[in-house]
Amino acid sequence: MITETVRSTDVALSIRSVSKAFTARPVLRDVSMTLRRGRATCLYGINGAGKSTLLRIAAGLLRPDAGSVSIEGRDVREHPEEAKRRLGLISHASMAYAELTVLENLRFTADLYCVSNRAVRIEQLLAETGLGPFRYDCAGILSRGLLQRLAIARALLHEPSVLLADEPFTGLDVQALEHLIGIFETFVRQGGTIFMTTHDTRLGLRCCDRVVVLDQGVVLLDKTKKEIDPERFAEDYLSYARSQN
Amino acid sequence: MRRWFMALAIVMLMLSTWLGLTKGQIVPVQRNILYVHVPNSIGALLCFAVLLVASVAYLITDRQIYDWIAAAAAEVGTVLASILNATGMIFSRAEWNVWWTPSPRLVSSALLWFLYVVYLILRTSLPGSPRRRARICAVFGIIAFLDVPMVYISARFIPDIHRPDFSFESSWQSLALMLGMVGTIVLAGVLIWLRTDLLRRRFELENRLHD
Amino acid sequence: MKSAWSGFKAIVIKDLVIELRARQVLPTMIVLGMLIVFILRLVVEPSSGRAEMPMMAAAALWIAFLFSGLLAQERSFGVEQQNGCIDGLWSAPLDAGTIYLAKLLANVVILSIFEMVIVPAVLLSFSLRVTGRWLDLVIVLALGNLGISSVGTLFSAVVQLARTRGALLSIVVLVVLLPMLIPASFALLVLFGAMPEEVGGSGTLAFVGSFRAAQGYLLAFDAVFIVACWLLFGVVVKE
């Protein structure tokens, strides 16, 4: 359990008693957690544990049956526009239109979020993600790694304070992985908050300083990296995951 | 409780039929089908109103019961609308020698029937969670209801050469008609009530099986 | 407000650019429309008199509009299926109603492009003349377009959301649009010269047969359904 007291101004993402059921079986049961600004939290769990569902609820894509989520104090359901403006979403799909070029995709996102200094921000992100040379290429012909970079650029364009990432490491090669981790680290260093889900214990532990394990919709473990032994955790998690199959 | 209402409805309908065939018989004999046609028209429209109210209530309160009421109203309404169309066609054949013609009354009846049927098809073929299906059907219910006054108005654009000009003059006839209407309404209400209950019990049973 | 306008404009332009670039749906729409016109032209008796032509033409036009319109509507949210783009829309700080209006406008534009091809096709194959009433024709078709697109855009989102077949979209849209077709056909028949403009109404129904009333009806129909669909859109996509 997080023992330090948290000031409300420090809270970037607050999940309160969220429950969700799609059919008779509940996917999330009374899940609560509070994420402080400037921290990265990793959510582990086997398939079906409810990780993606929780993330989608946090992003405002799904409505919880009970409970609420706030981004920097703004409830996602009651003040959706203010909350979503502060959110960036990276999912395992790139959310890019295949027929549009990289530049057009970014311009579209900038307009969706009404980014004021659109041209400047786009150039900045093209440089940061190394997509400059590909700006006139249609998203349909990009490789998986490049598409992921486009997804990152898309997510960071409007300078969000909270980044939600659903399995961001899937299908990336070593170079792309290192690049992504670098971007995450920079983001956190600049005061942003990350909430990601992943299967990969090693990568998750590298990026994040807090781990949460979700099992059948319930929080099984919620500790900072300092409180656990990373090596043992990785082993234990692996054997736990195997035992669930 | 419901049994009394059901019995009352059946008694009223039987009385209406008997009266209609004896004391209140309308002169060209086929017009007596109006004793069935008109009550069903009112009944089908009222069922749609129930469907609308239930749909709106479901969207506002998010309580399952309204979804079941809407479904029940749709089923009962479909039956009433089918009878409405069938009797309308019989009347049309007997009176004007055509089984169907785009006269305002027949067009409106047909559209009502189609709206009901599409609602039922939506209910049965939408995949996914029951809540999502309920929401989608509720939205369709509201949009479909908007169609009803729309078709009554737009049907005015059809040159209606056949203007039915009968009226229920004698008091026996009015009584028979009134009994028919009230009986149909009560019967429809009871059936909706029964069906809602059935849907609710099935849902509870399924949930219990799950646990 | 500024952000809503910015998002609205972005979605409309994006949809049109993608359609013009990928040509996902317009060619099929046009071919389907032309086939419908062709088939209806063929099934009219070859020896039919001049009286039947305008009626079949009006029928052909609206049927082509309806069915090709369905294709356009399927596209409106079908285009967001790939790469999870729909999540990009829902997670943006944009009101659902604004998204609906943007998709509606894109659909109307695409259907208008279709209209520009199909109307000459109908006029030619049925040997019709629309002397001097071009503006009225444009208005009637635009009103029909709006009505068809308004309902179709809403239910396209439903179909995409429920991941179901397009056949469901067809029956839902067609049944809701039925009332509109009566004055719409009447208006076209007047424009094609097959019916007099003002047929005296019998009894209480003063506007039976009035062309202006038909246009007024279409306008009212569009207004009612655009507002209703706009309001209900947010409800239907709430997950």
Neighbours of chain C (3+ CB pairs under 8 A): A, B
Q: Shortest Cα distance from A45 to chain B (angstroms)?
A: 24
DSSP A148-213: HHHHHHHHHTT--SEEEEESTTTT--HHHHHHHHHHHHHHHHTT-EEEEE-S-HHHHHHH-SEEEE
**Strand ranges of the sheet holding A87-90, from the earlier edge strand across to the other edge:** A87-90, A162-166, A193-197, A40-44, A210-215, A218-224
Q: Shortest Cα distance from A61 to chain B (angstroms)?
A: 14
CB contacts of A109 in chain C (<8 Å) are 88, 92
Q: Which of C77, C176, C180, C227 to mutate to test the interface with B (most CBs of B within 10 A)?
A: C176
Is the model's pLDDT at C169 over the cut of 50?
yes
Asked if A25's CB is within 8 angstroms of B129's CB, the reply is no
Q: Shortest Cα distance from A25 to chain B (angstroms)?
A: 8
Task: Report the pLDDT averaged over residues A5-20.
Answer: 76
**How many degrees, rounded to 5, is the angle at CA C216 between CA C212 and CA C217?**
120
Sign of dihedral through CA atoms C205, C209, C210, C214?
A: positive
Q: Which of B113, B119, B150 to mutate to test the interface with C (most CBs of C within 10 A)?
A: B150
Q: Beta strands A210-215 and A40-44: pairing type? A: parallel
Q: Which of B59, B62, B63, B131 to mutate to test the interface with A (most CBs of A within 10 A)?
A: B131
Task: Report the pLDDT averaged over residues B146-156.
Answer: 87
Prediction ipTM score: 0.88
Using a pLDDT cut of 70, give the percent of chain C over it. 91
Q: Does some domain include residue A91? A: no
Q: Shortest Cα distance from B123 to chain A (angstroms)?
A: 17
Is the model's pLDDT at B88 over the cut of 60?
yes
Task: Report the pLDDT averaged over residues A33-57.
Answer: 86
Is the model's pLDDT at C58 over the cut of 70?
yes
Is the model's pLDDT at B168 over the cut of 80?
no
Q: Which residues make beta-bridge pairs with C222?
A: none
pLDDT of residue C1: 74
- Number of residues in chain B: 211
Query: What is the band of C203 on the pLDDT scale with cuts at 50, 70, 90?
Result: very low
- A5 and A76 housed in the same domain: yes
Q: Does some domain include residue A206? A: yes
Structure tokens at A152: 């990152």
Structure tokens at B51: 């469907």
- A126 and A235 housed in the same domain: no
Q: Beta strands A218-224 and A26-36: pairing type? A: unpaired
Average pLDDT, chain C: 87
Tell which wins on pLDDT, C41 or B75. Answer: B75
- A24 and A145 housed in the same domain: no
Query: What is the band of B46 on the pLDDT scale with cuts at 50, 70, 90?
Result: very high
Q: Is B82 exposed, middle or buried (0-12, 13-18, 19+ CB in 10 A)?
A: middle
Tell which wins on pLDDT, B47 or B2. Answer: B47
pLDDT of residue C202: 44
Asked if C163's CB is within 8 angstroms of B127's CB, the reply is yes
Tell which wins on pLDDT, B139 or B28. Answer: B139
Closest Cα to residue A206, out of A186, A222, A228, A225? A225
Using a pLDDT cut of 90, give the percent of chain A over it. 27
- What is d(CA C52, CA C126) in angstroms, rounded to the nearest whole number? 10
- What is d(CA A104, CA C126) in angstroms, rounded to the nearest whole number? 44
CB contacts of A107 in chain C (<8 Å) are 10
Task: Report the pLDDT averaged over residues A193-219.
Answer: 85
A→C contacts (Cβ < 8 Å), by residue, are 59-63, 80-85, 87, 89, 91, 93-100, 104, 107-109, 111-114, 139, 154
Which 3 state secondary structure label does DSSP give A89? strand
- A102 and A175 housed in the same domain: no
Q: Shortest Cα distance from A230 to chain C (angstroms)?
A: 34
Q: Shortest Cα distance from B55 to chain C (angstroms)?
A: 12
CB contacts of A22 in chain B (<8 Å) are 129
Structural domain ending residue among the three candidates A159, A185, A207: A159
Does the CB of B98 have a partner CB in chain C at under 8 Å? no
Is the model's pLDDT at C193 over the cut of 90?
no
Q: Beta strands A11-21 and A26-36: pairing type? A: antiparallel
Asked if B211's CB is within 8 angstroms of A23's CB, the reply is no
Does the CB of C217 have a partner CB in chain B at under 8 Å? yes
CB contacts of A95 in chain C (<8 Å) are 83-85, 87-88
pLDDT of residue A3: 45
Asked if A23's CB is within 8 angstroms of B207's CB, the reply is no
- A168 and A63 housed in the same domain: yes
CB contacts of A23 in chain B (<8 Å) are 129-130
Interface of C with A in 8-27 (CB under 8 A): 9-11, 14, 17-18, 21-22
In tens, the pLDDT along A63-91 reads 888 888 988 888 888 888 888 999 999 98
- A237 and A167 housed in the same domain: yes
CB contacts of A113 in chain C (<8 Å) are 3, 92-93
- A137 and A155 housed in the same domain: yes
- A75 and A168 housed in the same domain: yes
- A153 and A123 housed in the same domain: yes
In terms of residue numbers, what domain contains A112?
96-159
Tell which wins on pLDDT, B25 or B126. Answer: B126
pLDDT of residue C204: 38
pLDDT of residue C201: 47
Number of domains in chain A: 2
pLDDT of residue C125: 87
b (16+ CB within 10 A) / e for C164-195? beeebbbbbbbbbbbbbbbbbbbbbbbbbebb
Is the model's pLDDT at C208 over the cut of 90?
no
Query: What is the band of B159 on the pLDDT scale with cuts at 50, 70, 90?
Result: low
Structure tokens at B26: 């309308």
Using a pLDDT cut of 70, give the percent of chain B over it. 91
C-alpha dihedral, A135 to A140 to A145 to A149, nearest 10°: 40
Asked if B129's CB is within 8 angstroms of A24's CB, the reply is no
Structural domain ending residue among the three candidates A115, A143, A159: A159
Task: Report the pLDDT averaged over residues C52-69.
Answer: 90
CB contacts of B206 in chain A (<8 Å) are 24
- Out of A121-125, B188-192, C21-25, which region has the weakest mean confidence (pLDDT)? C21-25
Asked if A98's CB is within 8 angstroms of C238's CB, the reply is no
What's the predicted TM-score (pTM) here?
0.89
Structural domain ending residue among the three candidates A159, A194, A212: A159
CB contacts of A104 in chain C (<8 Å) are 14, 17
CA dist B95 to A71, B29, B30, B34, B165, Å?
69, 10, 8, 12, 12
CB contacts of B129 in chain A (<8 Å) are 22-23
Asked if C225's CB is within 8 angstroms of B127's CB, the reply is no
Is the model's pLDDT at B211 over the cut of 70?
no
Q: Does some domain include residue A221? A: yes
Q: Shortest Cα distance from C187 to chain A (angstroms)?
A: 40
| Closest partner CB to A93 (pick from C9, C83, C239) | C83
**How many degrees, rounded to 5, is the angle at CA A230 between CA A229 and CA A235?**
100
pLDDT of residue C186: 86
pLDDT of residue A104: 94
- Out of A129-143, A223-237, B141-155, C110-124, which region has the weakest mean confidence (pLDDT)? A223-237
Q: Which residues make beta-bridge pairs with A19?
A: A66
pLDDT of residue C107: 94
- A66 and A175 housed in the same domain: yes
Does the CB of A25 have a partner CB in chain B at under 8 Å? yes
Q: Which of A23, A25, A27, A62 to mutate to test the interface with B (most CBs of B within 10 A)?
A: A23
In tens, the pLDDT along C108-150 reads 999 999 999 999 999 888 888 777 788 889 999 999 999 999 9
Query: What is the band of B209 on the pLDDT scale with cuts at 50, 70, 90?
Result: confident
Does the CB of C235 have a partner CB in chain A at under 8 Å? no
Q: Shortest Cα distance from C61 to chain B (angstroms)?
A: 19
- A45 and A151 housed in the same domain: no
Are B156 and C207 in contact by the 8 Å Cβ rule? The answer is: yes
pLDDT of residue C198: 61
CATH number at residue A12: 3.40.50.300
Percent helix, percent strand, percent coil in chain C, to nearest 5: 80, 0, 20
- What is d(CA B162, CA C29) in angstroms, rounded to the nearest whole number? 40
Interface of A with B in 40-69 (CB under 8 A): none
Query: What is the band of C205 on the pLDDT scale with cuts at 50, 70, 90?
Result: very low
Q: Shortest Cα distance from C22 to chain B (angstroms)?
A: 30
In tens, the pLDDT along B181-206 reads 888 898 899 899 999 999 999 888 88
Asked if A24's CB is within 8 angstroms of B207's CB, the reply is yes
Is the model's pLDDT at B165 over the cut of 60?
no
Does the CB of C67 have a partner CB in chain B at under 8 Å? no
- What is d(CA B195, CA C190) in angstroms, rounded to the nearest whole number? 48
Are C176 and B143 in contact by the 8 Å Cβ rule? The answer is: yes
Are A209 and A228 in contact by the 8 Å Cβ rule? The answer is: no
Does the CB of B59 have a partner CB in chain C at under 8 Å? yes
pLDDT of residue A1: 45
Tell which wins on pLDDT, A238 or C83. Answer: C83
Residue with tokens 């079949």: C56
Which 3 state secondary structure label does DSSP give A20? strand
Question: Averaging pLDDT over each range in A60-69, B15-24, B137-146, C71-80, which range is the top one?
Answer: B137-146
- A191 and A218 housed in the same domain: yes
Average pLDDT, chain A: 85
Task: Report the pLDDT averaged over residues B28-50.
Answer: 86
Neighbours of chain A (3+ CB pairs under 8 A): B, C
Task: Report the pLDDT averaged over residues A188-214.
Answer: 86
Residue of chain C nearest A89, judged by CA positions: C91
Are A218 and A31 in contact by the 8 Å Cβ rule? The answer is: yes
